[in-house]
Amino acid sequence: MFHDELVAWMKSRAVNNSYIVVTARSKKKGDVVKKVWLVCNRSGEHKTVATRRRSGSKKIGCPFKMVGVYNEKRLVWQLEVRNDEHNHEAAQHLEGHPFVRRLSQDEHKMVGQLTEQHMDPRNILSTIKKQNPDNVSVIRDIYNAQQKIKNEKKVGTTMMQVLENLLHSKGYVYYTREDPATNVVEEVFFCHPKSYTY
């Protein structure tokens, strides 16, 4: 089991009990995580009242803490409970917590695949919830994931390349005129196939 699997398991157990657990920090040996500290999302305290008002955070110094340590001899993760008490009630509506609504890596990948198949965002959300009944994501999370995927595809791509890819993928007829000396595109002419006839 990798450390991310341990963390995912612990977070799912917490959600089942209407609490939210987050990774406070982790320690690596080489490139591999060997120790991870898990705390309640309401652990820690703000230094000033002004900061608390500005952020809207609800950190109240919750003492819940667990530490996961990888046992290299037995090749297993061991969980040590430092404090199993929360100083607040369990959440009534987890849907209000963006952290809990966060899509897993597999779900994020699924959003990309289904988007490429032109599936409607609401149907994408429905498909994810069918595969994972514990998922509490909302439609806004699907839109955000789609936007993130689009932005990732644009990395390293010029705006002109983005436009040309869009025109090509949507079936537009287009023509570009470049400066002969620099090969820089100076003009772009395009129209939708339905807007012209031969």
pLDDT in tens, 82-114: 999 999 988 877 766 766 777 888 899 999 999
Are 88 and 171 within one domain? no
Last residue in a domain, options 97, 122, 144: 97
On whether residue 81 sits in a domain, the answer given is: yes
Name the least confident of 15-29, 67-81, 146-160. Answer: 146-160
Q: What is the mean pLDDT of residues 70-85?
A: 92
The verdict on residue 106 lying in a domain is no
Do residue 6 and residue 89 come from a single domain? Answer: yes
Q: Could you tell me if residue 93 is inside a domain? A: yes
CA-wise closest residue to 93 among 32, 138, 147, 48: 138
pTM (2 d.p.): 0.53
Q: Is residue 140 part of a domain?
A: no
Do 93 and 166 lie in a common domain?
no
**Residue 187 DSSP SS3:** strand
Could you tell me which of 65, 60, 125 has the C-alpha nearest to residue 95?
125
Whether residue 169 sits in one domain with residue 88 = no
- Under DSSP, is residue 118 helix (H, G, I), strand (E, B) or coil? coil
For residue 4, what are the domain limits?
Answer: 1-97
Residue 148: inside a domain? no
What's the structural domain count of the chain? Answer: 2
Residue 21: inside a domain: yes
Answer yes or no: is pLDDT of 55 > 50: no
Q: Is residue 150 part of a domain?
A: no
State which of 97, 112, 129 marks the end of a domain: 97
- The answer to whether residue 125 is domain-embedded is no
Q: Which pairs with CB-CB distance under 8 Å and at least 24 residues apart come from 179-187?
A: 185/160
The last residue of a domain, from among 53, 80, 97: 97
Pick from 185, 167, 166, 163: which is nearest to 176 by CA?
Answer: 185
